[in-house]
Structure 1
Amino acid sequence: MINVIKRETMGRSERGWLHSQFHFSFAEYYNPDNIRFGALRVVNDDTFDPHGGFDTHPHEDMEIVSYVVDGRLTHRDSMGNGSTLGRGDAQYMSAGTGVRHSEFNNTDEPLRFLQIWILPDAKGYEPNYGDHRFAWEDRVGQWLAIASGRQGAAPIAIHQDMDVSVAMLDAGETLSYDLKPGRQAYLIQIEGEGEVNGTKLAERDAAEITDEAEATVRAKTPSHYILFDMAAE
């Protein structure tokens, strides 16, 4: 089954320099019927104006992945880590017993990134940070695994049975993703227009994919996708 979530129905927030679209309940947006999808708790499509950002703030017991869509994201944390990532790069922070960090756009151009929170498989992990700069061409015409559970092959390891993959397709191209029995997926049309299993997706729409053997995306225009493969509930 394909359940499309249109961007117009998602939560929204405008806070000066910060422009957000919430896939699930977050901050001032609360919908008791839309708290999470499986272990996927938060997906915020955030845009920072030039020189905007989050000052140092705490997190705990959450797996946090940030995927840069466009612009430059600068991270600093209480573990002594600091980095600046660009389009198509990803960072990971296992908040565990507690960590403090900041995120900023220190440039004169807008920054767009997906802020992703994944429920961990247990509480109390030692905090950890990592990032990876992926070659853009590695996702062109194919799925590129960017994060996965500890048994997965992705360069970013997370404390949860979930695989996170991205792909970029030219107009008219198709790409399939096999879903094993007992699995479900959450797909986001990050950029462009396309469809999944014949169901239309506009830019920034999402689709809950359940009871399907595979997810086949087709790009109507050049399209950028992210897919979360997880255990069904």
Structure 2
Amino acid sequence: MIEHRPFLSLDVISRDWLDARLHFRFGEFGRADHVPLGALYVWNDDEFAPHSGFGLHAHREVEIVTWVRSGAITHEDDAGNRARLVADSVQAMSAGCAVHHAERNEESSPARLFQIWLHPRTPGGTPRWATRVCSRECREGRFVTLASGDPDDVRTGALPINADARVRIATIREGATLHHVLRPPGHAYVVADHGRLDVGQIRLAPRDGLVVTNESQLTMTARDDTDIVIVELVG
């Protein structure tokens, strides 16, 4: 089964410094019918204005994967980690029992990112943070796993997360087709970033989302050059 969530149908959080579109309902925000999908319960399409962002704040019991689509953000946390993440960078943070962190755009141009939150497989634990770059060249025409709770994925370069899920990305060119096999139970969430994408008979506009349940394979054809970001549930 496949459910289309057009970008223009998503709920909006608008501040002086933040424009966010919510693929899932979280607390009082988001559409009531946009319920979580297994461990996946937040996917926000965020744009931070220059010289703005989230100051130091706390998280616990959550796995957060951040994909920087354009611009750059600066991460800082109370474990002593600090890094500037440029476009094509991914960050994975396990909040564990508690972590305080800040995430800011310290640049002179906007930053666009996906914020993906997952319920942890096991509660508690020591907070953990890591980052890596995944260039367009390395993901051209194929899916690369950015972060995963599967040890086999971690051994081949994915950032570790404490969740029954994997976060992947592929870049495909206009007219190209990818046939992507889903591991049982065949649940996933798909977003076409900056180009149009056909998934089976469904036509996605840029930044549209797609809820996939009980499917064994997806056939994806690009109508423009685009990135495809997918969260697959593996438990």
Fold-level similarity (TM above 0.5): yes
How far has the Cα of 1:129 moved from its partner?
0.7
Unaligned regions of 5+ residues in structure 2, if any? none
Partner in structure 2 of residue 224 of structure 1: 227
Partner in structure 1 of residue 70 of structure 2: 70
**1:95-129 alpha-carbon deviations (Å, 9 max, x no partner):** 01000000111111110000110100111121111
Partner in structure 1 of residue 168 of structure 2: 165
SS in 1 for 2:193: strand
**1:201-225 alpha-carbon deviations (Å, 9 max, x no partner):** 0011011112222112111011111
**1:20-53 alpha-carbon deviations (Å, 9 max, x no partner):** 0001113542444333111101011100111111
How many angstroms apart in 2 are the aligned matches of 1:33 and 1:5? 10
Aligned counterparts, 1:1-233, within 5 A: 1-26=1-26, 28-154=28-154, 155-231=158-234
* TM-score in terms of structure 2 length: 0.94
How many angstroms apart in 2 are the aligned matches of 1:152 and 1:220? 33
How many angstroms apart in 2 are the aligned matches of 1:27 and 1:46? 17
Residue-pair matches, total: 232
Kept in 2: contact 1:209–1:215 (CA 8 A):
no
Q: Residue type of the partner of 1:43?
A: W
Kept in 1: contact 2:166–2:234 (CA 8 A):
no
* TM-score in terms of structure 1 length: 0.95
SS in 1 for 2:153: coil
How many angstroms apart in 1 are the aligned matches of 2:134 and 2:184? 30
Runs of 4+ in structure 1 deviating by more than 6 angstroms, as ranges, are none
**Percent identity of the aligned residues?**
34
Kept in 1: contact 2:120–2:163 (CA 8 A):
yes
Unaligned regions of 5+ residues in structure 1, if any? none
Kept in 2: contact 1:38–1:231 (CA 8 A):
no
How many angstroms apart in 1 are the aligned matches of 2:41 and 2:125? 18
